[in-house]
Amino acid sequence: MCFWEPCTLVIIFDYLQTEIICVISVVIVNSWSIRRRSTAVQTTDMTRMTVKKIPALKDNFMYLVVCNETKNAAIVDPVEPDRVLQVAKESGVSLNKVLTTHHHWDHAGGNADLFKRYQADTSLGPLQIYGGNDERIDNLTNPVGQDDTLEIGNLKVRCISTPCHTTSHICYYIETPEDKVVFTGDTLFLAGCGRFFEGTPQQMYDALITKLSALPDDTKVYCGHEYALNNLRFGNTVEPDNVDTLQLLNIAKESDLEGRRAMVPSTIGQEKRTNVFMRVHEPSVQKFVGKSTPLETMQALRAAKDKF
């Protein structure tokens, strides 16, 4: 048989066509996934406030916090100003405050640009930028510290100073008669905590155990990154008998990226049951790292997680 018989050519052509279609499909699916990741906003409607979770960059979250009564809003860590202004506009709110958790670029990197846009367009009104007292935070207009308060419309925000990941890290807590929420940046993640870049195990202990664990158990926790799956895998390695952790891990494993994103917010109660960094008093956690005090356990756990 001659290799170039017409039917062979047809088969080769068909094969090439299939390959091309496959390649095109992969490109379309990939670009669709990337687009989907950067655009899906998840909204939590509460009695007096609304929180819109806006995915940004690779795995960051920005949060638009709205006072339902006045439609005044604040944005937590607006690293993508275009997206923030678009969501604020679509939501019909007046955005006039930035709450910066810490100076790292993937959180505070949009402050300067957003500030410039407000200066260029006076119809947007003045923009106040809150954050820990730190010259590394761009365009900081309102430096805050432990227990300082500010308002978003009728919502009262309390600042919680949590130095360790960075020296000036701030978490923001809002309590209404019906609901409580806390924005924890890179201090507390779902089932994890931030790296100790500029602080000590004692400082992370104070942040997680003394301060954040003291909030009501039903406080919703909005963290700075989507790290749920990896953190839960680590938690399950540390405490294989913790059924709450295993249950969450199974949900995370079975979910696609969007599904895992739906795992945030967590709650303070859930973190106390499953987050090993909030469980450094537990014998099961201390046993994993071979330590007998909560502080030594905090230090050894972080070291183990850094290598996980």
Do residues 245 and 191 touch, judged by C-beta distance below 8 A?
yes
Mark the segment that binds Zn ion (CB under 5 A) among 120-128, 131-139, 184-192, 292-300. 184-192
Q: How far is the CB of 40 from Zn ion (least distance, A)?
A: 23
Instruction: Name the packing angle between helices 228-238 and 294-306 (round to 10°).
Output: 130
Q: Which is nearer to Zn ion, 173 or 189 (CB)?
A: 189
Mark the segment that binds Zn ion (CB under 5 A) among 83-91, 153-161, 183-191, 273-281. 183-191
Alpha carbon distances (Å) from 253 to 60, 92, 199, 244, 258: 19, 36, 32, 14, 12
Q: Does 77 bind Zn ion (CB under 5 A)?
A: no
Residue of 77, 138, 165, 169 marked active site: 165
Residue 281 is among the residues annotated as catalytic for this protein: no
Question: For residue 207, how many other CB atoms are within 10 A of its CB?
Answer: 26
Classified as helix, coil or strand, 80 is coil
Residue of 106, 113, 148, 179 marked active site: 106
Residue of 77, 102, 138, 169 marked active site: 102
Residue 165 is among the residues annotated as catalytic for this protein: yes
Q: Which is nearer to Zn ion, 104 or 211 (CB)?
A: 104
How deeply is 22 buried, as exposed, middle or buried, from its count of CB atoms within 10 A (0-12, 13-18, 19+)? exposed
Closest to 293 measured CA to CA, from 200, 156, 201, 228:
201
Mark the segment that binds Zn ion (CB under 5 A) among 68-76, 179-187, 231-239, 271-279. 179-187
Residue of 45, 103, 107, 134 marked active site: 107
Residue 169 is among the residues annotated as catalytic for this protein: no
Total number of residues binding Zn ion (CB under 5 A)? 2
Q: Which is nearer to Zn ion, 80 or 186 (CB)?
A: 186
CA distance 151 to 135: 23
Q: Which is nearer to Zn ion, 52 or 102 (CB)?
A: 102
**Can you tell me which of 80, 186, 239, 271 binds Zn ion, judged by CB under 5 A?**
186
Q: Which is nearer to Zn ion, 201 or 224 (CB)?
A: 224
Assigned token pair, 235: 């938690």
Question: For residue 91, how many other CB atoms are within 10 A of its CB?
Answer: 17
Q: Which is nearer to Zn ion, 79 or 191 (CB)?
A: 79
Q: How far is the CB of 296 from Zn ion (least distance, A)?
A: 25
Mark the segment that binds Zn ion (CB under 5 A) among 21-29, 68-76, 140-148, 186-194. 186-194
CA distance 308 to 34: 27
Q: How far is the CB of 113 from Zn ion (least distance, A)?
A: 19
DSSP states along 132-181: ES-TTSTT--EEE-TT-EEEETTEEEEEEE--SSSTT-EEEEEE-SS-EE
Do residues 46 and 178 touch, judged by C-beta distance below 8 A?
yes
Q: Terminus-to-terminus CA distance in the chain, angstroms? A: 59
Residue 107 is among the residues annotated as catalytic for this protein: yes
Residue of 77, 103, 104, 169 marked active site: 104
Site for Zn ion in 80-109 (CB under 5 A): 104
Residue 104 is among the residues annotated as catalytic for this protein: yes
List of residues contacting Zn ion (CB under 5 A) = 104, 186
Residues designated catalytic: 102, 104, 106-107, 165, 186, 225
